[in-house]
Copies of this chain bind each other. A is one copy, B any other.
């Protein structure tokens, strides 16, 4: 598969320092540049990483942690040898591991959010940008205070659900009957635990309910009236449906019911699904996604969002993805899991996203976008649609954009 023509070099999709990319393979030794470096393929730690990561879904850090002490000693010694620096003392061992840990965690924590992909009128894009910045800042503050990735993504998504500019929670698009039916999911990369709700009504924050499904039931997904009953049993307040419906959503619904409505234009102007991915200071990864779905959808339509592997996926060993776009196309190619499979095969988050988005476009004619993180904190926001509203917070900086090549950077503090 080829990347989207002209996109790889033109679209912003990475945290600012280009030095981050080589860390994928070169980070463990970047603190020892005074010595001649052994070839990456030959070096024992990379051989170990490569073998263990591909065989057992383990990235380098886990490969190192899960290695037996004897093997660690041999590896360390081998590494030292290749830098013409021989020592087996406990102090050197400590320093060596500490340096690896410091470089490993330098880019953590990180949170990346999106507020939907599609064709967004300029005035709405500006308001949505303010919204995603607020969401990313909310998640980042939680992470900086030592909160978990799960806390960060859930709160970031809840901020967007509460913002009527987004198609999730308040502001959701209406189904063909003029009602609000929402989907949401969360996934915890530590143990692949997940929770989701589909076609749920009269809930202000479906993402909270999805988290409760994960934490309080033995199931992964509850739907429709069953989900509402569970919400009641958990004391989640039911809200009036009118409180979720905005004038804009009503206007679009009515317009799209007109006999001469254009089915293509029908989906324009809506903000898509909202979502977030994050890695916390402990290296734990999580994702969350929430949506009101497709404008004028059939009653009971379930999109990609509550479907594990389609509307999101998180695995501490690989990374996390939250997508947005044409839900049915995303489901057909299991977009989130597809991106992570490419990353398991050695692609960067950016390359994997481009491969998967290109495949989705070519195979099922679907457009969309994704935010992605890997365990090291490398992140990307890629889209094959015209626009995607996104924001990311890392190392005290807030990045955001809507259009191709757009990456505005400012200190996170400005927004606090």
Contact = CB atoms under 8 A, between A and B. Distances in A.
A331 B194 contact: yes
Interface stretch (A111-119, A132-140, A225-233): A225-233
Contact of A334 (B294, B298, B337): B337
Interface stretch (A62-70, A166-174, A304-312): A304-312
Given A309-B309, A334-B313, A302 B223 contact: yes
Interface stretch (A29-37, A40-48, A214-222, A380-388): A214-222
A192 interface: yes
Contact of A223 (B56, B224, B308, B331): B224
A49 interface: no
A225 B226 contact: no
A300 interface: yes
A317 to B, nearest CB: 9
Nearest to A221: B302
B300 A226 contact: yes
A193 B299 CA distance: 20
Interface string A116-156: 00000000000000000000000000000000000000000
30 contacts: A181-B226, A192-B364, A193-B332, A198-B302, A199-B223, A199-B224, A199-B226, A219-B302, A220-B303, A220-B328, A220-B332, A221-B301, A221-B302, A221-B303, A221-B331, A222-B298, A223-B224, A223-B300, A224-B225, A224-B226, A227-B300, A229-B300, A307-B307, A307-B309, A307-B310, A308-B332, A309-B309, A313-B334, A337-B338, A341-B341
